[in-house]
Structure formats: structure tokens, C-alpha cells
Amino acid sequence: MVRPVKLASLRMGDVDDVAVYAGFAIAEWEKSDTAKRLKKLNIEPQMWKSGADANTFGIVVDLWCETYNPEDMAIARLTGLLDQPFMAQI
């Protein structure tokens, strides 16, 4: 069994409706070069979790992948594709 792996942390400001703004931030992240390169390795986010960001008093949304090929995930780790900073412009 493989463990879930955090692909990215998307930081947002203090938003009223986390689900709506998270959807926008995730859509913006999917347009990034990092997301496109992960997709080529068949690594895509399957779930997201949100929480408070103590550094900015805003919200942080973490994207997680639960099903993946361990060899592809090793390539993603070695090339530095995982958990790169991304600031959603909201």
C-alpha cells in the first residue's frame, strides 16, 4: 500500500468560501509547468485538504495524491517537482 503524497500547498488570503476559492486556486495550479510535468508522470491530485496558514493568517490548501506508480513518484521527488511554492492570485 502506498502512502498519500502531498503534491503542492496553495496559499490563499482570508476567503469567505474556501471550497469556491480552492477550486479556482487548483485550476490555476493545474495550468502551471509543475502540474503539467507531474501529469506526464501520471501523478495528479485526487483530494485536497484546507487549513489555517499561521504565517499569513489566511488559508492553505494542500493537494494530495493517493494512487501512483512508486517509480514515477521517485522521479518526481528527484527532479524537485513536489511541494513547490505556489501562490494563488485571489
DSSP 26-86: HHHHHTSHHHHHHHHTT----EEEEEEETTTTEEEEEEEE-S--HHHHHHHHHTT-TT--E
For residue 71, the one-letter residue type is E
pLDDT in tens, 29-51: 999 999 999 999 999 999 999 98
pLDDT in tens, 2-30: 788 899 999 888 888 888 989 999 999 99
The range of the structural domain enclosing residue 17 comes to: 5-87
Q: What is the pLDDT of residue 13?
A: 83
- Comparing 1 with 65, the larger pLDDT belongs to 65
Q: Is this prediction's pTM over 0.85? A: no
- Spatial distance between the Cα atoms of 61 and 83, rounded to a whole number of angstroms: 12
Contact by Cβ (8 Å): 68, 2: yes
**What's the total number of domains in the chain?**
1
